[in-house]
Amino acid sequence: MEAAAAGRKRAYSIIVPTYNERLNIALIVYLIFKHLPDVNFEIIVVDDGSPDGTQDIVKQLQQVYGEDFVLLRARPRKLGLGEFVVIMDADLSHHPKYLPSFIRKQKETGADVVTGTRYVKNGGVHGWNLMRKLTSRGANVLAQTLLQPGASDLTGSFRLYKRDVLEDLISSCVSKGYVFQMEMIVRATRKGYHIEEVPITFVDRVFGISKLGGSEIVEYLKGLVYLLLTT
């Protein structure tokens, strides 16, 4: 498989941003390979200088799966991307079992963006307490009311993009962090891109510490006001 694919451009680039995900990265890579047995893809691990040895684990994975299939990129190194780009979290909150649904939805509809959603039938969240569920739902309802984004889940980061669409959207966005995901969908809608959704169940991380805190909530509200005024 590796010899036949060497030197051939991948159809799908699956980008997995990491920071201190040593305990999760091997499992997420294994699950991606398990659920995409017949897909021409590469996994690009974009690591943000993890001090916990994440990059060492990725290098071991390269020995198992091949450097043509598992690529390690330390930011801000430029990425070479396939025709389609999938972006997903490394902490197992985004299960690779949904990847075939993303690919199938794009092929069936010709969508420019396919985004995972927790807020439609067969979607949901596992592992959150009631307060966090209410906070997430309330923030999403507020954004839906003010921005009319054309998608039911604004802050989710499990998405498939056409490469040229992704590049266009990134060049148009100025936000960072969690607000960036919201801005990407709002900009896509305003630009007239075709957006489709796939229901997913978001699972709270098993290993490691969540990076969401009070400061991110404040930034979300500030970003909401910014997008309301500028889009």
DSSP letters along 44-102, please? EEEE---TTSHHHHHHHHHHHH-TTTEEEEETTPPPP--SEEEE--SSSSS-GGGHHHH
Cβ distance 195 to 155 under 8 Å? no
- Judged against a pLDDT cut of 60, whether residue 7 lies above it is answered with no
Lowest mean pLDDT among 101-105, 172-176, 211-215, 220-224: 211-215
Greatest distance between any 2 Cα atoms in the chain: 52
H or E, element range at 177: helix 177-190
Work out the pLDDT band at 2, boundaries 50, 70, 90: very low
pLDDT score of 208: 52
* Mean pLDDT score, 98-113: 98
Tally DSSP H helices, then E strands, for the chain: 8, 9
pLDDT score of 230: 87
Query: What average pLDDT is seen over the chain?
Result: 88
Residue labelled with tokens 């809608």: 189
- Judged against a pLDDT cut of 60, whether residue 6 lies above it is answered with no
Work out the pLDDT band at 51, boundaries 50, 70, 90: very high
Domain boundaries, the chain: 1-82, 93-231
Cα–Cα distance for residue pair 44/140, rounded to 1 Å: 30
pLDDT tens for each residue of 206-230:
555 555 555 777 888 888 888 988 8
Lowest mean pLDDT among 25-29, 101-105, 162-166, 171-175: 171-175
Output DSSP code: residue 126: E
* Mean pLDDT score, 107-131: 92
